[in-house]
Structure formats: structure tokens, C-alpha cells
Structure 1
Amino acid sequence: MVGPLTGGYTIKTQVLGARRADTRSVWIATIAIPLLLLAPAFWNGYPLLQWDTGGYLARWYEGYLVPSRSTVFGIYLHLGEQASFWLNLGIQSLATLWILQLVLRVLDLARPVRLVAISLALIATTALPWLSSMLLTDIFAGLSVLALFVLVLHGARISALEKAALFVFTAFSAATHSATLAVLLGLCCVGWIARPWLRRQIPLAGLAQGSLTIVAGAVMLLAANFSLSGQLAWTPGGYGVPFGRMLQDGIVAQYLRDHCANEKLKLCPYRDQLPPTADDFLWGNSMFNALGRFQGLNDEMGFIVLHSLAAYPAWQAEAALAATADQLMHVATGEGTNGWIPHTYGIIERYIPAQLAPMRKAKQQQWQVDFTTINRFHVPVALASMLLVALLFGRGLWRRKRDDLTLLAGTVTLALLGNAVVCGVISGPHDRYGARMAWVATFVVLIAAARAFTGDDEVDDLLAP
């Protein structure tokens, strides 16, 4: 027969044993997850590089502003040069672990075993480890959406120090890329619009703090631009990016055919020779080079972009809708991460020659990185996750549920749509833009699965404070 004292001793032993097991799980998660997030870089033997990496690296050394290359991210990369950029990858993997566990914690799913299980699923099925292993802004796009969600909607459930860290992280993320800033700004605008109907779910203080991260990110970018270039100016986006998308849609060629008889434009002699894609025009061996690239053609591209919007409004609207839909379908992992990235190689050779030897030994530079097999799995997972998270949001709206899972699904659905509009309409659809956000949808689906199939067990009740 077990007496009251014996029974109490047994329960206390179980609690202590469970606490020790949880402590071990925490340490395992803290060490293993960041290492697994960097598995692609370890396998490669060097941080993964991309077409655009060189443009960011050069900002510290060249001292002038170029279109779409954030000086904030350039400074961030420069800080990791002496450590062969492994410092940057360490920051990215630890930030990923931090944000993932923070979201799970505010949703009351913070058991280490769940964090490990969900993290392993993301590592195995999404672009997340490839993004965290790469010297590019893309890892901060999805993480910043989750950070903004926690800061705005669940600020009361985290400490003052965590709130301050989230604020700085979100502001930094916004400053790394104009598209990320635009998506975060859009989410904040939706928050202000929805707040009259969701006063209890969207605290005024949280929404104000979230909105201020956009301001802080803008100030951060302006300060970095001034410190490196002496110009108190925004990073130039130029008209090249939207011009390229309109060229790809055939709008530029039509404008030139319709107006070259009355307007003297540098591109008029080439109106029947324009390349088929924006990438061919901007980065290939096209007439863009002969006409002075951005410096020589930016004013003319701006003129054509603005006047073609007025000349063909219906065509522009149709093209924008098509580009948005197309961008939602472009989610493959690894675009621009192969052996042919001459500009990035050239920047490293010119400014960071000490990195040449380890870079050249990497598998990527030996043309051993191939995403064909990976994307046979990643693409359907990403597309299915995006559909499921939209359905989760729609189901919540239909049932008039305003719980935290519905709000998270709504935040991510709107972020995916905003990302598709910003990137698809302005830049034209690219897999890179979709892959950097699609993994967040998979994360939400995994959270929903944990909610549906994993209830609180006895140990959870015992460990509750």
C-alpha cells in the first residue's frame, strides 16, 4: 500500500525527473538546431553565395549607393569578413532559433520537444536552412514577419529585454531590403485598418511599437547611407527594376512603337531588338550596356515607366495581377546560388582577397550545388503550405474566430500576398522572392498540426508554475 507521503514523494520525483529531461532537451535544441540550420554551409565548406551578394559586400569599400543594395546589410556582412562570414551565419541561425521558440512560447507551445520536432521538419522540408546558410538578406524577410507578429500582438507576454531586442531586429530586417520594409509596412497598415474591429486582439501599444520599427529601419538605412557615401539619401531603387518587368511584359516595346515617331528616346533604334526578359536586359550583354546602364538610362527608363502607366492602364493592371499570381507560384529553393556568379567572385577578389582560397575550395564554386532533387520536394511542400495557411485564415474568418492561430495565419497570408505584389509587380516573378517567405507558411501549418494533435499531458500539468 502506498501512503500519502510515498505518493507525494513519487510525484515530486516525477516532476524533478521531468524538469531534468526538459533541461537536457533545451540544451540539445539550443546546440543542435543552429548547427542543423547551417548544415548546407558546412557541407559546402563555405557560406553560400548568390548573384546579389557581391553588391552588398562592395558597399563598404566603394562608398557610393547603388540600386537595391542596402548599406545596412553591407555593413553587417563587413563585420563578419575576418571570420570568413561564419559570424554572420551564426547570427542568422541563432536569430532563427530565437524567433521560432518565441512564437511557440507566446502560443503556449514552448516545450523543447515541440521546438525540436517543428525545427527538424522545417529544416528537412523547406528552404530555411539554405536561407540561413547564405550571405543574403532573404533570411530576414520571413523572420521579420514573425518578429512583428510577436511584437505587435503578444508584447505583453514577453520581457522588456525581449521586446527591445525584437524591435531592433525588426528594424534591422526592414533596413536590409526595400521589399521587406514594404511588406512590414503593409502589415502595419492592415493592423491600423483592422484595429477598430479587433481592439482586444491588436493592442494599441503593440501596433505603435511595430509601426515604429519601420521608422527606425528607415532611419537606420539613411544613417548608414550617409556614413558610407556622404549622402543623406534613400537607397536608390531606380526605375530599372519596374522597367525590366514592363519590358518583359511587352509594354516597353509597345510604348516605343507607339511614341518613337514623336519622342527622341535612346531606346528607339532598339525597339525591335529588346531582349525577352528583364534579366537579359539588365544583366546580360544588351543595349543597356551600350547606352550607359543605370547612369545613362535611368531618366529615360523612368520616363517610359511613368508614361506607360498612363498610356496603358488596363494592360498594366492585367500585367500586375498576372505577375502577382505568377510570383505566388515561384517558390523553388536556390535561385541564383550556383557556380556562375562572376560579379560576386570579382568583388571578393578585388576587396577581400584573403577569402579567395576558401571560397574557391567550396562545393558551390566547383559546381556541385544542384537544387533539382531538393525542389521536387520543397516546391510542393511550399505550395501546399501556402494554400493551407490561407485556408486556416479563411476558416477562422468564416467562423468569426479571433484566436492567436487565426491571427498568425492571417498575418502570414497577408505577408505572402504582399510579398507577391511587391516583388512580382515591381521586379517580376522570381523563385528567390517566393522561397524566402514560403517556409513561414509551413511553420504555421506545423503549429496548427501541433495544436490539433498534441494536447497537454500529465508532465505538462506537473511542470506548470
Structure 2
Amino acid sequence: MHSRRILNMPNGAPPTGETPISTRSTRVLYTRAAAAPWAWIAAIVIPVLLLAPAIWNGYPLLEYDTGGYLARWYEGYLEPSRSTVYGIYLHLGKDSFFWLNLACQALLTLWILHLTLRVLSLAQPLRLLAIAVILTLATALPWLASMLLTDIFAGLGVLALFILVVHNGKLSTIERVSLFLYTSFAAATHTATFGVLLGLCCAGWVVKPWLGRRLPIAGLIQGCLTLVAGAAMLLAANYALSGRLAWTPGGAGVSFGRMMQDGIVARYLNDHCDKIKLKLCPYRNQLPATADDFLWGNDSVFNKLGRFEGMNGEMEFIATQALAAYPLWQTEAAVEATAEQLVQVGTGEGTTGWIPHTYGIIERYLPEQVKAMRAARQQHWNIKFAAINWIHIPVALTSMLLLAGIALAALWRRRLDDVELLAATVCVALLGNAFICGVISGPHNRYGARMVWIATFVVLIAAARSLANRYGSASRPA
């Protein structure tokens, strides 16, 4: 009908204020042709930016906990807080000196960043590249992508779950299946990540009556099923490597450490050692000041009493009994730990030149890599995070404040668009992460840094949308 009207106009001119279909088609083709080179540039440059720290280092970045994951394939038993799923993932890349693992991490990051922009109708190659550059310079993201550790999957898991639940209908079948498998894998790599994703699914069902069709039931069901699949994946990996159908151990021991750090364990021992005979009673006045010193110190009482094998039962008993004995103190400690964890967001914790356990695991099981590992800049103490954190910490804290502002403004208006719903989701994820990690393990910069970069990402998305609306910039296929 529209084309007939154009043909009937004098000289074939369109009605005033209307654009001929052929002209619009030409513009779309021109826009796609102009975007194509940038799409290739973004696809090549962004993974390189994400892996820049590892490339500069000359070897994948290592962390204090890396060795525990690496050893899972070789040692045949379950280690507290060390996922066998991530251990198998690392083992698959050992012949490439783990560069294959880093490539996967970089490409997965690129994919999920792009997919997030696409479902929000903001996918432009140049925009994606600009956001990636800012995230590379101002957040922990490239350090996470360049490291042999589960942390990169925590923030990406939140974004993947959001896309799968909220924008399920915008995905192709292969994208939906791939995102489902990735989210399941992310959940299986760390119990804290599993907990955050579980909390988001529970929150989704709670707010479903208010958000209606914005949260499709099919999407919520798929989101929950990713956790079922992730749990099955972890149990299967644990059984395959250890012969035990069990969850990754360590929760009680880690919680005990946090309670000890808060002084709760010492109080419990002083109150009950005259009635209950516990291994720790003779050492109740020798407990170290921090959980890290207790669990990982060389001359710790924990080592003398048999570490996790000798102390798991007693630590679980004390943690459970102390929880019931001092509920108000536990509540106050939990609130303080959550608040402290929210602001502990510095990059680089545990990524130093002194990681003897990880070195020992590589020397024992991967001797062919020792030379390359020892030659890396990290092992020569050449990575200095103090200067980096002069940028990263203020950016992270500012991003969280702006993110909360975006979410609260939307709630005040009682209307959430797609970007504001993502902002609210990330706020819940950050709070959940701070609670789980702060209360169970005690506050650490590493736990905050692995998640807070997605706050910066969402703030950049909101800024990009504002600029697009202001200057009339349409989304171009990326």
C-alpha cells in the first residue's frame, strides 16, 4: 500500500515526511557495510585486550588457589572449596600451557558482553569496542580473564542467567543451548557462584507477580534448570575423580574460620571447654587473629591437628553450636561482614610472587612448564597492583553507587525497562555475593573484584543508551 502511494505521487516522490522503502533499505545496507569492518576489528581486538595482562606476563596469571584446582585431576580426592569441574577444565588446556583456557575465557567474555548489548538493542561494534576498552582500563576484567581461576565465571554467570531468563525469546536455539550449558558450568565452578545464581533465581520467582510478562515463566524454569544441571555436573565430576558422590567440601571449615576471626570461636571455647572435650580446647588462647592465618599458615594449630581431615567434624560442630549460642552476635557479625565485603573490591589479591602451593603443584605434576612459569613477570614480583587500584577501586565504588541510583530511580517510578531490570539484577547479585562471601569466608578484595566489574558494565550500558536516545543513534548489527 505504501509503495502504491509513492508510485501515484508526482515524479514518484514520497509523501512529505516519509522515507521511500528503497531509500531506507539502502541506508540499512550502507549501515551494515560500514559496521562490518568494525565487527571484525572488535572480534580481534577485544580478546587481545582481555588477555593483555597474561600476554605481558608471558604465562597465564596464577593465584594462591590455582594449585588446588590444578591438583584435582592428579590427586584423586576432594579438596575444600576446590571445584573438580574447574580442575578438569584446566587439565584439558595443560598441553597448550593453559593458553587454550585463557582463549576460551576471553572468547566467552566477548560473546556474553556482545549478547548482553544485543538483547538490549544496543549492539554496535564500535560501541562494544569502546565499552571493552573502558572495562579493560578501569576494572579487574582483563586480570580475571588472564588468570587460571574460577573468578571470571562469576560475573559472566550473572549476565548469562539474566539473558537466559529475561530475554529467552530473543535467542536462537543454539544460543539458548550454549547459554544454558555455560551458566551450568559457571555454577559448578564455585559454590559461591552457585549460591549467587540460586539467589537470583529465587528472587526472580518472588518478584514474578509484580513484573508479570517481563519475567517469563519459561525463562525462570530454564534458569533454575541450569542450577540443577550445574549441581549434577559437579557431583558427576566429584564422583569421577574421587569415587565419592558428594558436594565440594569446606563450607563448615571456612565458616568456622570467619567465626574465629570475629572472636566467636574463642568465646565458645571459653564457655564450653569445661563441659565438652574438644581438640581445640588446649589451644583456645593461641588462636591466630585471622582465618587465613589459621587455615593456611605454616605453623598453625590447624596443621598440628590434622588440617581438614582431622578437624572437619569439630569445626562443623563448633560452627553449628556457636550459631545457636550467640544469635545476636552472629547477626551483627554477618551485617558487618556483608557491608565490609561490598567495599572490598581491589584488584589482584592473591596474585603475587609468593604462591608456594601453586608452584609446588606445577613442579610436581607439570614439570615441563616450570621453566616458562618461572620466567614469567609475576614470579619476578613485577606486577604492582597498588597503582592499578588507584583507578580500579574508585571506579568500582562509583559504579556501585550509580548502579544503585539507576535501580532505585526505576523503583521509585514503579517502572523498569530492560536496562533498569539488569541494573536491579546486578544489585541483587552484588548484595548476594557480599553476603555469601563475607559471612561464610570473611571479606576479601578478591571476592568483590570478581563481581563488581559488571556494575561498571551496566553503568556504561545505561550511558550508551542515554547517548543513543539523545543523538538518535540506532542499533547496528554487530
The TM-score, its normalising length taken from structure 1, stands at: 0.96
Once the two structures are superposed, the pairs formed by residues 32-111 of structure 1 within 5 Å of their partners are: 32-111=45-124
Moved more, 53-62 or 232-241: 232-241
Aligned partner of residue 212 in structure 2, secondary structure: coil
Would you say the 8 A contact 2:251–2:440 is kept in 1?
no
Give the Å deviation of 1:48.
0.1
Q: Select the residue among 389, 398, 403 that pairs with 1:375.
A: 389
Structure 1: distance between partners of 2:432 and 2:286: 34
Structure 1: distance between partners of 2:85 and 2:309: 23
Q: Is there any run of 5+ residues in structure 2 with no aligned partner, and where?
A: 1-10, 14-18
Amino acid at match of 2:45: A
Is it true that 1:204 corresponds to 2:217 in the alignment? yes
Amino acid at match of 2:125: P
The TM-score, its normalising length taken from structure 2, stands at: 0.93
Q: Select the residue among 176, 184, 187 that pairs with 2:197.
A: 184
- Encode CA deviations 1:90-116: one digit per residue, 9 max, x unaligned: 000000000000000010100111111
Once the two structures are superposed, the pairs formed by residues 127-166 of structure 1 within 5 Å of their partners are: 127-166=140-179
- Encode CA deviations 1:388-413: one digit per residue, 9 max, x unaligned: 11111111101011211121011000
Would you say the 8 A contact 2:341–2:443 is kept in 1?
yes
Moved more, 10-19 or 422-431: 10-19
Aligned residue number for residue 323 of structure 2: 309
Matched pairs, number: 460
Q: Select the residue among 338, 348, 355 that pairs with 1:334.
A: 348
Give the Å deviation of 1:210.
0.4
Amino acid at match of 1:208: I
Structure 2: distance between partners of 1:452 and 1:199: 26
- Encode CA deviations 1:337-389: one digit per residue, 9 max, x unaligned: 00000000000000011110100000000110110000011001001111111
Q: Select the residue among 111, 126, 130 that pairs with 1:117.
A: 130
Give the Å deviation of 1:237.
2.2
Aligned partner of residue 198 in structure 1, secondary structure: helix
Would you say the 8 A contact 1:18–1:459 is kept in 2?
no
Once the two structures are superposed, the pairs formed by residues 289-328 of structure 1 within 5 Å of their partners are: 289-328=303-342
Structure 1: distance between partners of 2:66 and 2:152: 13
Aligned residue number for residue 374 of structure 2: 360
Give the Å deviation of 1:294.
0.8
Aligned residue number for residue 272 of structure 1: 285
Aligned residue number for residue 244 of structure 2: 231
Q: Is there any run of 5+ residues in structure 1 with no aligned partner, and where?
A: none
Amino acid at match of 1:35: V
Structure 1: distance between partners of 2:98 and 2:104: 10
Aligned partner of residue 338 in structure 1, secondary structure: coil
Give the Å deviation of 1:13.
6.6
User: Percent identity between the aligned chains?
Assistant: 66
Amino acid at match of 1:85: F
Distance 1:291 1:431, change over 3 A: same
Distance 1:17 1:402, change over 3 A: closer
Amino acid at match of 1:287: V
Give the Å deviation of 1:213.
0.2
- Encode CA deviations 1:39-84: one digit per residue, 9 max, x unaligned: 0000000000000000000000001111111000000000000000
Aligned partner of residue 207 in structure 1, secondary structure: helix
Would you say the 8 A contact 1:45–1:362 is kept in 2?
yes
Is it true that 1:218 corresponds to 2:231 in the alignment? yes
Aligned residue number for residue 350 of structure 1: 364
- Encode CA deviations 1:106-145: one digit per residue, 9 max, x unaligned: 1010011111111111111000000000000000000000
Would you say the 8 A contact 2:72–2:84 is kept in 1?
yes
RMSD: 1.7
Q: Select the residue among 410, 433, 436 that pairs with 1:422.
A: 436
Aligned partner of residue 239 in structure 1, secondary structure: helix
Aligned partner of residue 333 in structure 1, secondary structure: coil
Distance 1:304 1:454, change over 3 A: same
Is it true that 1:283 corresponds to 2:299 in the alignment? no
Amino acid at match of 2:249: P
Would you say the 8 A contact 1:15–1:459 is kept in 2?
no
Give the Å deviation of 1:460.
3.7
- Encode CA deviations 1:206-261: one digit per residue, 9 max, x unaligned: 00000100000000001111111111111112421000000000001111111111
Give the Å deviation of 1:18.
3.1
